[in-house]
């Protein structure tokens, strides 16, 4: 694989975390910061699509291999692992995450209100769980992980891409909560991402990792609803 594809993965690895850092740490969540963050989200769609279509001259479907939708095994594995993650999220909540978040309640409420989602929480939650998780799977597993594999191998590609995924989320958590909470939650996200890389690698389709990601996100939003309302 040409070296330019490694460069494409490197750019993809850095931009989401950097965008979150500039938006919420450097610019402090100001209107300019929100514009930067929105641009970084558009990048999640635009960069893989641009590279696949314009540089690879390939069908965009190669990012997700949609043919796996007709097989039972990817869905079963995805829903099973997602349910396991949902259980771990609930367990973590009962064992102390509730207290960790309690002291940051005003910041969490402000973050939710900033995106205009408090009055339509479950509509927002479903859109994020179904659509946003799909975009993230295409970006992090279908593009970043896939581009790194030929260069560093499956294990290292999973480690590096999952670390990038975790850092991106960790910056957001740290900006809302604190640095220690952000680091802990970033590690948890990275571990889940490693499992999603494995699902994608074994099933050769994103349906498994997307189903798992979707269920985990729904569990997070359920905890959020319990916390906020």
Tokens, residue 17: 């975390």
The closest of 215, 6, 188, 202 to 92, measured between CA atoms, is: 188
**DSSP code per residue over 11-72:** HHHHHHHHHHHIIIIISTT-HHHHHHHHHHHHHHHHHHHHIIIIIS---GGGGT-GGGGG-H
**Quick one: tokens of 124?**
């927002």
Closest CA to 207 of 9, 51, 58, 61: 61
Burial of 212 by CB count in 10 Å (0-12 exposed, 13-18 middle, 19+ buried)? buried
Alpha-carbon distance of 192 to 43, in angstroms, equals 22
Distance of CA 85 to the CA centre of its chain: 14
- pTM score, whole prediction: 0.91
Where in 4-83 does DSSP place strands (E)? none
Per-residue pLDDT of the chain (229 residues; tens, 9 = 90+): 567 778 899 999 999 999 999 999 999 878 898 899 999 999 999 999 998 888 878 777 777 777 777 889 999 999 999 999 999 999 988 887 777 777 777 877 777 776 666 677 888 889 889 999 999 999 999 999 999 998 899 999 999 999 999 999 999 999 888 899 899 999 999 999 999 999 999 999 999 999 999 999 999 988 888 777 7
């Amino acid at each position: 694989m040409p070296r330019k594809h490694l460069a494409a993965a490197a750019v993809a690895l850095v931009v989401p975390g950097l965008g979150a850092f500039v938006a919420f740490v450097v610019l402090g969540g100001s209107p300019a910061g929100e514009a930067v963050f929105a641009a970084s989200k558009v990048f999640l769609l635009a960069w893989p699509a641009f590279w696949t279509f314009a540089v690879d001259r390939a069908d965009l479907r190669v990012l997700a291999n949609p043919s796996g939708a007709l097989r039972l095994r990817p869905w079963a594995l995805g829903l099973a692992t997602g349910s396991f993650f949902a259980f771990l999220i609930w367990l973590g909540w009962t064992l102390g995450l509730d207290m960790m978040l309690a002291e940051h309640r005003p910041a969490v409420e402000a973050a939710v209100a900033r995106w205009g989602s408090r009055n339509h929480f479950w509509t927002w939650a479903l859109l994020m769980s179904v659509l946003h998780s799909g975009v993230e799977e295409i970006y992090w597993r279908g593009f970043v992980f896939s581009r790194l594999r030929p260069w560093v191998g499956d294990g290292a590609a999973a480690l590096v891409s999952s670390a990038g995924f975790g850092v991106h989320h960790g910056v957001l958590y740290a900006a809302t909560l604190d640095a220690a909470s952000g680091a802990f939650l970033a590690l948890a996200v990275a571990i889940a991402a490693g499992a999603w890389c494995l699902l994608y690698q074994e099933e050769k389709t994103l349906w498994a990792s997307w189903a798992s990601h979707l269920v985990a996100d729904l569990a997070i939003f359920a905890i959020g609803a319990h916390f906020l309302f």
